[in-house]
Every structure is written in structure tokens, then in C-alpha cells.
């Protein structure tokens, strides 16, 4: 038997399976450790001393710290993660709505008001009040029309 064929039979298939299993369990444990550290910092209800205590516990005694944390606080880990995901989704939706609405500037608002006045839909006094609202940053042409008492008709 040559040296090459001997090396192929030196590590049995079952040993390869067990090695891969331990390797993936090790990776899963690191993922769990990092999720716990993130959860410790994410929890707003926990005091600073509590966060420091859990962090030291999970770093000094990592296996025991992770297992105790999962048993003691694991139920709410998912809830905190879902709450954060919902908050991020709400912020994203608000940003999309704000961006999609066009976000007109004061110059655009004043141009619209000037056009409405030139058509004769509002009086000079209503235009002046609406212009003051736009320049103060408090209203748009829709708010200005309702504030001045006109219906646009």
C-alpha cells in the first residue's frame, strides 16, 4: 500500500462527521454569544450595572453565562428583537412616505400661492396670511387655504 492511499484511510468518515458536527456547534455557540451581547445592550429596561454584570458574566464564564442568560432572559430576547425590527420598519416607512410625498420647499409653496392668487382664487389678504404661514414654516398651501377660510372654489 502506498503512502497516499494510507492517508486516505487514516481519518474515517464517522470522524469527519463528528468533527464537522463539533465545528458547527462551536459556530452556533459563537452566534448565540454575539446575539446575547447585542441583546444585553439593546435592553433599555436593564440598568447599566445590570448590563455590566451580565456582560462580565458572559465574558468571564462564557458557557455558563450564555446558558444562564438564555434561561433567565431568553424568553424576552425575541420580543426585544421583534420590537426593534418593528421600530426600524416604522422609521423606514416614515422615511419612504416623506420622500414619496415630494417634500415641497418654501419656494414651491410660495409659487403655488402666487399662482392661486393670480387665478383669483384667493384675495391679496389671504395670500399675505398664507405667505406668512409658509415663511414661518408652519403650513402648506392646503393649510393656508383652510386657515384663510377659502375652499378653493
Whole-model pTM over 0.75? no
CA gyration radius, the chain: 32
What's the confidence (pLDDT) of residue 121?
A: 85
Calculate the alpha carbon distances from 115 to 8, 17, 72, 123, 147 in Å.
85, 77, 65, 12, 18
Give 10-residue mean pLDDT values along the chain (153 residues). 58 88 94 92 90 92 91 88 92 86 73 87 88 73 47 45
Amino acid at each position: 500500500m502506498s503512502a497516499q492511499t494510507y492517508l486516505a484511510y487514516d481519518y474515517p468518515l464517522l470522524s469527519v462527521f463528528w468533527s464537522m458536527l463539533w465545528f458547527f456547534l462551536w459556530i452556533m455557540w459563537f452566534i448565540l454569544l454575539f446575539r446575547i451581547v447585542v441583546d444585553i445592550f439593546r435592553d433599555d429596561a436593564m440598568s447599566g450595572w445590570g448590563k455590566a454584570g451580565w456582560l462580565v458574566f458572559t465574558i468571564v464564564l462564557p458557557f455558563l453565562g450564555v446558558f444562564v442568560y438564555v434561561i433567565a432572559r431568553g424568553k424576552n430576547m425575541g420580543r426585544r428583537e421583534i420590537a426593534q425590527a418593528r421600530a426600524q420598519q416604522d422609521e423606514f416607512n416614515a422615511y419612504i412616505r416623506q420622500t414619496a410625498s415630494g417634500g415641497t420647499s418654501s419656494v414651491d409653496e410660495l409659487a403655488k400661492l402666487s399662482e392661486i392668487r393670480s387665478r383669483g382664487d384667493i384675495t391679496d389678504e389671504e395670500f399675505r396670511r398664507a405667505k406668512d404661514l409658509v415663511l414661518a414654516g408652519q403650513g402648506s398651501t392646503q393649510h393656508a387655504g383652510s386657515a384663510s377660510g377659502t375652499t378653493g372654489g
